[in-house]
Amino acid sequence: MKKIYIAAFVVSAFFFTGCADDYLDVDQTESVSTDDIELYNNDAGASQFVTSIYNKFLNWDMTSFGWIGLSSITSDDADKGSSPGDTGTDKDVLDALTYNASNPSAESTFNANYDGINRCNQALNILPKLDKASPALRARLTGEAKFLRAFMYFTLVKCYGGVPIVDHLPVPGSDSDRIMQLTRKTKAEVYAFIESDLNDAIAALPEKGAYAANERSRVSKGAAYALLAKVSLYQKNWQKVVDNCNKVTGYSIVNDYASMFRVAGKFDSETIFEIYAQGSVPAKGIEGYSNTQGARGAGGWGWGFNTPSQSLVNAYEPGDVRKNATIIFRGTTLYDGRVIPTTVENERYNYKAYSSAYTDAWETDVDIKYLRYAEVLLMKAEALNELGQTPEAIPLLNQIRKRAGLGDTPYTSQGDIRTAIWRERRVEMAFEHDRFFDLVRTGQAKAAFAIDGKVFTEGKNEVFPIPASFIKQAAGLSDQNPLY
């Protein structure tokens, strides 16, 4: 049987079965016998079911090549990179915004997130049956599963707009459940579902400080509040952004920006939610994340995709320490002493994806920081400014600038501060999988892409196509996004 690594445990795929080639071809409703349940009817067993959800984020289809393509290469922060003749299957058309409904990256990201949602639903289904596990632990694990399900639906709604809401394990042969799996809900309905899951998670999760050192990768109440603030940001519910940011406590920005993206920066004071990668097997790392983005060519070590654009280079002010912490420049020496020779093919590479210890390995020890306290400060600043409280927003913006080695913003008007915050988000969070979605939600996309000679078609490119394979299966229950 196929096996899935779950931290120090191995659990049979009998519980977590899925096929990336067919959205509905998942044996997710097979019953688990009483004897099988008893094997996991304890605290350790209960934890395994939720740990398997986190483990999904280490997979190639969830976090690596396809996701890098959608969230980064499509943006103005990155170019395809690699060799001119190596398209990376579809990274050339993603870079040019000329992809269609058969795009492999859009399909793999869609399927991977639903595979992860299936794991969430499996865990939520079985946890109440594990009556020998601690009730307090089961409640916390339920909160973790709901946070992770909300996180995946947030990815889906940003990428595709309205999507099906699969909120439980479907009953085999049930027409109503089949319709549930195949029918797109509206964006508003998906956001409402995300908010419901996050509110449930908030009620069940502990604060970050309550976790033991060996559980530091698990989500906390602060993570749920931060994600809820971000969900509100995308819906322009400004007061909710402020209220939820105010509830993210116990975190602080670190002094050294570059340290966050090295092994020493794992779960530092700024981390709110990050994907934990331990390196190569038998420990578990993120499949292909560093390798695909590493320097390519003579003296290099990777595939060379997702290279920083000249537009991003130009976005940094003189003296901004974040530039050299984000971008590997050809001909420079990295923090571990590695020299990037002038013989590599591309001028620039993503420093935040660089692994020193596992440079040539398929799996990496690089974590992905999805929520940081710096973003909470920027979200709150943006919301306060939109609420007309610009004087209260400016000190939050300046806090981020000070850490970057910059002076206070010279701007004071609401419009100028809005632009300054958007610019700060770009350079603060470059290559952290937000830029494309920030351009869309703020209405900057058309103008930003035009600078690079690319055509962003309004009414189309705000979202990616729903996979054509899913639309075919839906047989009229779901429509394709416009103009695809």
Encode the chain (484 residues) as per-residue pLDDT tens digits. Answer: 222 222 222 222 222 233 333 443 333 333 455 567 888 999 999 999 999 999 999 999 999 999 999 999 999 999 999 999 999 999 999 999 999 999 999 999 999 999 999 999 999 999 999 999 999 999 999 999 999 999 999 999 999 999 999 999 999 999 999 999 999 999 999 999 999 999 999 999 999 999 999 999 999 999 999 999 999 999 999 999 999 999 999 999 999 999 999 999 999 999 999 999 998 877 899 999 999 999 999 999 999 999 999 999 999 999 999 999 999 999 999 999 999 999 999 999 999 999 999 998 999 999 999 999 999 999 999 999 999 999 999 999 999 999 999 999 999 999 999 999 999 999 999 999 999 999 999 999 999 999 999 999 999 999 999 999 999 999 999 999 999 9
Q: For residue 32, what pLDDT is reported?
A: 53
Residue at a domain's end among 333, 366, 399: 366
Residue 322 in any domain: the answer is yes
DSSP 406: -
Would 143 be classed as within a structural domain?
Answer: yes
Q: Find all residues with CB under 8 Å of 400, minimum gap 6, and list them.
A: 253, 374, 377, 378, 424, 428
Asked if residue 172 belongs to a domain, the reply is yes
Check whether residue 33 and residue 166 sit in a common domain.
yes
Number of independent structural domains in the chain: 2
> 207 in a domain, yes or no?
no
List all residues 6 or more positions away from 110 whose beta carbon is below 8 Å from its beta carbon.
Answer: 23, 156, 159, 160, 466, 467, 470
What three-state secondary structure class fits 229?
Answer: helix
- Angle in degrees, CA 341, 343, 346, rounded to 5: 95
* pLDDT for the residue numbered 16: 29
Query: pTM, whole model, 2 decimals?
Result: 0.94
Domain boundary among the residues 320, 347, 366 is at: 366
Domain boundary among 150, 182, 214: 182
Per the structure block, which two tokens stand in for 7? 């931290």
Three-state secondary structure of 273-294: EEECCCCCCCCCCEECCCHHHC
Contact of 194 with 157, CB cutoff 8 Å? yes
The boundaries of the domain holding residue 310 are 286-366
Q: Is residue 211 part of a domain?
A: no
CA distances from 307 to 101, 114, 411 (A): 25, 29, 31
CA angle 280, 283, 286 (to 5 degrees): 55
Residue 208 DSSP SS3? helix
Q: What is the pLDDT of residue 28?
A: 38
Confirm whether 147 is domain-assigned.
yes
The answer to whether residue 440 is domain-embedded is no
Cis before residue 104, ω within 30 degrees of 0? no
On whether both 38 and 177 belong to a single domain, the answer is yes
Sorted by sequence, the CB contacts under 8 Å of residue 423 that are 6+ apart come out as 315
- Residue 308 located in a structural domain: yes
Note the pLDDT of residue 6.
Answer: 29
